[in-house]
Amino acid sequence: MFETAELGRKISRADFKEQSAVLRTELLKVQQELRRERRFQVVIVFGGVDGAGKSETANTLNDWMDPRGISTHAFGIPTEDERERPEYWRYWRTLPPKGDIAIYLSAWYSRPLLDRVYGRSDLAGYDRDLNRIATFEKGLVDDGTLILKFWMHLGKRGQKKRLDALAKDPLTRWRVTEHEKENWKMYDQFEVASDRLIHKTNMDGAAWRLVEGEDHNYRTLTVAKVVCEALQAKLNAARPAQRRPSVISAGIGSGAVNVLNHLDMKQKLAKKEYRIQLEKYQGRLNLLTLEARRSGLSTIFVFEGADAAGKGGAIRRLVSALDAYQYKVIPIAAPSDEEKARHYLWRFWRHLPRAGRVTLFDRSWYGRVLVERVEGFATESEWKRAYAEIDDFEEQLVEGGAVLIKFWIHITKDEQLRRFKSRENTPYKRWKITDEDWRNREKWEQYEEAVDEMVSRTSTGVAPWTLVEGNDKRFARIKVLSTACHFLEATLKGRQKGADGKK
């Protein structure tokens, strides 16, 4: 495959000067249009062999375009902050808003490739890594991101010549370390692994372009032309159709069978028993979270439920058992302009806790398949593909060392009406009830249908849903606390068992 990038193509200095003058003007023009319209963001990824011109080409793009709309990212060994979160946390945080361009060097491709070449992963593990990359990039492309990937190539002799030249020049000598020298010795292994990488992650919307890296002029113009043409093509594409509410069926009806119909909504807990259970489980939870912190286990709680279902009350009883320095509650409302300019999962990635900490989401990423689905804020194709995106996201959270505990707190329609009226009649609770709450109530059946599909499609082995009967607040709060204790205890025991097995 790499033979096509070893043909010795070159561009003279005179031709480069002539073509670059025109190309720079065109690049600035399309970049200005991109920033003005802010319809999509651009991600440029550079991969390839050491010395093939990745950083020089990235620098040229920064030089030729307005740097105020470009960010460049190069990732080395993960920092302590990064190691305490899922691997992709550091990549999600750097994704650009619509209208901007981000250039990536040594990004999500580097660790899997190096692990495979140096024998730290087997072929099955390498393929899992590449599949995760493909899933990550597909999610961005589906959301409208323009991804341009360039594999900068040099033959084995060409790379040796390039590294030697860099090492001889006092101004570039620092760039050739023992790491680059060792990589060159493994050239053949890199070529085999790179070939597999390109084939596994080459897909519509995120295709690789092989670029011969021997001649500076050739590689610079080649990359710049592709960037310019791809930007112009996407800008010229038909503007997105106006959003319309998703087509929702007439409703499942009160007699239909779904997961919520199976709940025993008459369950209650007496006040005296509630106080005993509250003290018991809050004390137990406090000890478990301290143990989790010592072991580096982060905890993520997700609270979803109908309006007035009691999410806030359950959260308050839960955090009362925690050290105030240990947890953070993230209330999720309508996305801000900053959040709407990125993939919908971006705002949740940025709030993930460090190892040993606790984060509670009061509403969450499930808004994509609930309120955004029912109210038509997401197109049908957007909310339908979100189930797989959410499952992958949650799998990464658990693989990254978190225990994920998800609650749907359910109340009946009659109980919700009672609580709404109580809020209206209580001055210090009146702020809790809004016109939007009453509007949402009119779509009760559509929301029940969305919840049923959400639970059935996203209750997985690594992140199951816990359905909480919420008509009685005391019963619901104790079920939340006892479930939290159960999940933490089981995860900590599993970790200890795994650690004992390694001894």
Q: pLDDT tens digit string along 368-380?
A: 999 999 999 999 9
Task: Count helices and strands (H / E) in the chain.
Answer: 20, 10
Helices of type H across 344-472: 346-349, 371-374, 380-399, 413-425, 435-441, 444-458
Residue-level pLDDT at 239: 59
DSSP-assigned states of every residue in 240-256? PPPP------S---TTS
- Mean residue pLDDT across the chain: 90
Lookup result for tokens 């594409």:
237
Rounded to an integer, the average pLDDT of 192-214 is 93
Residue 250 has pLDDT above 50, yes or no: no
Residue-level pLDDT at 461: 92
Residue 249 has pLDDT above 50, yes or no: no
Percent above pLDDT 90 for the chain: 75
Please name which of 186, 159, 137 lies closest in space to residue 54, comparing C-alpha atoms.
159
**Does 123 or 50 have the greater pLDDT score?**
123
Instruction: Give per-residue burial for 282-314: e unless 16+ CB within 10 Å, then b.
Output: bebbbebbebbbeeebbbbbbbbbbbbbbbebb
Lookup result for tokens 């999500």:
108
CA angle 353, 309, 466 (to 5 degrees): 55
Residue 26 has pLDDT above 60, yes or no: yes
Residue 54 has pLDDT above 50, yes or no: yes
Residue 238 has pLDDT above 60, yes or no: no
Rounded to an integer, the average pLDDT of 42-50 is 93
Could you give the 3-state DSSP secondary structure of residue 71?
Answer: strand
pLDDT in tens, 379-404: 999 999 999 999 999 999 999 999 99
Residue 100 has pLDDT above 80, yes or no: yes
Q: How far apart are CA 371 and CA 165, in angstroms?
A: 59
Please name which of 402, 204, 417, 416 lies closest in space to residue 297, comparing C-alpha atoms.
402
Q: List the single range of 186-195, 256-265, 324-333 with lowest mean pLDDT.
A: 256-265
Please name which of 406, 405, 400, 402 lies closest in space to residue 492, comparing C-alpha atoms.
402
The amino acid at residue 103 is: I
Q: pTM of the prediction? A: 0.87
Residue-level pLDDT at 427: 82
DSSP code of 203?
A: B
CB-based contact 416:441 (threshold 8 Å): yes
Tokens of 263: 């709940």
**Which phi and psi angles does 149 have, rounded to 5°?**
-120, 125
Residue 248 has pLDDT above 70, yes or no: no
Residue 244 has pLDDT above 50, yes or no: no
pLDDT in tens, 456-486: 999 999 999 999 999 999 999 999 999 999 9
Tokens of 474: 């005391």
Query: Quick one: how far is CA 357 from the chain centroid?
Result: 19
Could you give the 3-state DSSP secondary structure of residue 451?
Answer: helix
Tokens of 483: 């479930």
